[in-house]
Amino acid sequence: MENRPEVYTEHEGTVRVSGSTLPKQAACCAYSYLQKGIERIDFFYIGANAGHQAMKAMTILSFMIRGELQDIGCVCFEPIRVLTNTVDMLGSGEVKEKDATVWRVVLIRR
């Protein structure tokens, strides 16, 4: 029996990524959270196209952090499978659960 993932609750460090998200803007958003002292940063997305944009954003963020924050030795990303509630805008308008992915930023300090 498969473990049911938890329903994701967005927070102040959530960066929502869609298939049309510009990766540099998402990375800059996440970096601004770090500058504000928010260290729990999640790249949240649903679907393959959004996942591709999230991967590019995480790569850009890694380079930004390594170039600017001297006390960071390593930037890692932890994948987390979650559920999210979405509204069926094209059909009945009912709320449905969908699988989603969160990549949580993990900073390893020197």
Domain CATH number, residue 76 = 3.30.110.20
Classify the phi-psi angles of 93: left when phi > 0, otherwise alpha if psi is within -120 to 50, otherwise beta.
Answer: left
pLDDT above 70 (res 83):
yes
The pLDDT assigned to 10 comes to 94
Which residues span the domain enclosing 65? Answer: 14-109
pTM, 2 dp: 0.88
Q: Does a structural domain hold residue 80?
A: yes
The pLDDT assigned to 30 comes to 97
pLDDT above 70 (res 1):
no
Q: Total structural domains in the chain?
A: 1
Q: Does a structural domain hold residue 2?
A: no
Q: Which residues of 21-38 are buried (b: 16+ CB within 10 A; e: fewer)?
A: bebeebbbbbbebbeeee
Q: Does a structural domain hold residue 100?
A: yes
Q: Does a structural domain hold residue 1?
A: no
pLDDT single digits (tens) 43-81 = 999 989 999 999 999 999 999 998 887 788 889 999 999
% of the chain at pLDDT higher than 90: 69
The pLDDT assigned to 2 comes to 67
